[in-house]
Amino acid sequence: MCIYCNLVLVVLVLALNSQAHAGRIIGGHESENKSRPYMVYVEGYDENNDGNNVNFTCGGFLVREDFVMTAAHCKAKSYNVCFGMNRLDDNGMKCSSVKEHFPHEDYNEKTLTNDIMLLKLSNRAACKKRMKPIAMADKADNSPKMCLVIGWGITDNGKTSSKLMEVNVTLTDDEMCTEEKAFYSKGKKGPAGGDSGGPLVCENGKAYGVISGHQEDLTKYTKIPEYMDWIKEIMQPKSALD
């Protein structure tokens, strides 16, 4: 049993409970305009005990014109997703509601295992320079070392940024954690709770992981190659008219 990974999961669960949707890219810099056309801003809406809508935000990324990938802990009753922008006040951005969501059926909110979800958009994203899906890594791709995480949220100054930010991270070499179907990175630089659902983009420009949780200098990413069969099954058209 991977004792190190189990301790990691305990820390990350506590982090998400205390920092849920707080969100920040720490130690990063602003993304070049139009350089991350797959990035998606996900707003989730639920009802509290008073029947009022409560919204939160997560990251996400286009994996097909009609599908967005994000984290399962970003599940909500309804969503509004926006893409095609670097700044959240960009008049050129496009938004869509979500037709159906697909959190992984084995997602465990206590351990954060299988923390991955697909959102089927009500309106397809038009493929152009500002909006373009990212390729996903599969098991045939080499294990990455240097990667990039991207998102909107609170930065080093503790204030929310309307600009898309990014930072490089180095993945750990602890092979024991493969049983958790996750990558891990260490260091002060990186994402936090509200950046959950954003991509881990590695050397070949493919999405290798989904940002799952962050606490101090430790970050977990759900490993996309381990879920490719599930992803293909969800995204396969149910009919010629779908």
1: which residues sit within 8 A by CB, 6+ positions away?
none
Catalytic residue among 101, 115, 185, 214: 115
- Distance CA(152)–CA(32), nearest Å, equals 14
Catalytic residue among 21, 31, 66, 73: 73
Comparing C-alpha atoms, which of 100, 147, 104 is closest to residue 122?
100
Which two tokens mark 71? 């984290």
DSSP code of residue 136: B
Give the H or E element holding residue 191. strand 190-191
> 192 phi and psi, to 5 degrees?
-135, -170
Catalytic residue among 96, 161, 185, 196: 196
Q: Is 106 a catalytic residue?
A: no
Which two tokens mark 204? 């070949």
Q: Is 196 a catalytic residue?
A: yes
Q: Is 115 a catalytic residue?
A: yes
- Distance CA(140)–CA(158), nearest Å, equals 40
Q: Which amino acids are annotated catalytic?
A: 73, 115, 196
